[in-house]
Amino acid sequence: MSPQRRDVLTYGGVALATALAGCSNDGDADADDPTDTPAGNGTDSPTPSGNMPSLADFETTALGEELSAEDVSVTLDEPSVRSSMLYETGEGDRSEYGLKASSGTYYLLATVEAGEGGPTPESFMLVTESNGNYLSADPVSGNPLRERGERYDPENGATSGWVAFPAVGGVDYSNAAVVVDGTESGWELDSETLSALSNPVPSFSLDGVDAPASVAPGSEFDLTVRFSNDGETAGTARGVVWWSAPNRPMRPFAVDVAAGETGEHTERFTASSSGGESTYVVQTVAGNAEVTVTVGDGGNSSNGSENGS
């Protein structure tokens, strides 16, 4: 049987704020979709703070060193720069995930350790030498990040956790520091972090999703997601696969793709023993696609979703 083909829904150049189970979706909403409404392509672009101190106003120290803020010892360390984030939205034993990305924007993440009564997360600010200052933000509405855990929030008992700064990518960050508002202290960002912020934001394409059109009951089969990195910077393409089954199981994934190269991620599934059809929905930073797998006696045949028809 010749491969079946479906168009990939792509959303290049727009902000993506996909709550994959219960909020918004970068495609058409329907009764089979766990999201409530189509995505409002609202921007998550970083906004410079109205508070415009300069680096010269602060005495900075190395990442990981202790500083005093509000009479509490505080450290900031483990910076990382990423163009998207997977966050956890499920409750109890149910695993659900959201995906956050915004065109042209990086998220600078760092880990804060502070004692009880430490500064609020909103007290932290990214101060740059030539590209404005940016307040700490909560781009995932208080949810834990899959790769970083809980947000720093001492008022709610989280005295250790991440803080995030949306920052414009692809501009020269020759010097920058994270400071605590109301103090004269901060942590100077290392050269590796500054270089990552200065690189153009990766640009991914979803090339296709491949799975068999039909499988035997109880058999194993693979679903493969294929990406291209069309940009000048290596990066990580993130996404989630969910499928039509009780409780809508979800599997998050991340694929490192070098600049100008392709990459893929494969998930292995076991077909039901009772027959019927299962729809597998793939939602990613580069667009969405779905494939339907029929469980029956017809054996394996190919099934794919590609960009174009």
28 in a domain, yes or no? no
Rounded CA-CA distance 224/243 in Å is 14
Q: Is the pLDDT of residue 27 over 70?
A: no
* Integer CA distances (angstroms), 15 to 12, 281, 301, in order: 9, 20, 36
Instruction: Read off the pTM.
Output: 0.80
Rounded CA-CA distance 288/20 in Å is 11
Residue 51: pLDDT band (50, 70, 90) is low
Q: Is 120 exposed, middle or buried (0-12, 13-18, 19+ CB in 10 A)?
A: middle
Same-domain status, 194 and 206: no
164 in a domain, yes or no? yes
Handedness of CA 177, 180, 186, 192 (dihedral sign): negative
DSSP assigned state of 101: E
- 138 or 46: which carries more pLDDT confidence? 138
Last residue of a domain, one of 139, 165, 198: 198
Report the domain count for the chain: 2
Same-domain status, 211 and 149: no
Structure confidence at residue 297 (pLDDT): 64
pLDDT tens profile 168-222: 999 999 999 999 998 999 999 999 999 999 999 999 999 999 999 999 999 999 9
Q: Please give the structure tokens belonging to residue 171.
A: 């501009």
Same-domain status, 172 and 223: no
Same-domain status, 108 and 158: yes
Same-domain status, 194 and 292: no
Q: Is the pLDDT of residue 117 over 60?
A: yes
Same-domain status, 147 and 99: yes
29 in a domain, yes or no? no
Residue 129 sits in a domain whose CATH number is 2.60.40
144 in a domain, yes or no? yes
Write out the H or E segment, with its range, that includes residue 128: strand 124-128
301 in a domain, yes or no? yes
11 in a domain, yes or no? no
Same-domain status, 91 and 79: yes
Last residue of a domain, one of 198, 213, 248: 198
Helices (H) then strands (E): counts for the chain: 1, 22
Residue 214 sits in a domain whose CATH number is 2.60.40.10
Same-domain status, 72 and 145: yes
Convert 161-173 into a string of H (helix), E (strand) and C (coil): EEEEEEEECCCCC
Rg (CA), the chain: 22
Q: Is the pLDDT of residue 119 over 80?
A: yes
Same-domain status, 250 and 150: no
Q: Domain span at residue 216?
A: 202-306
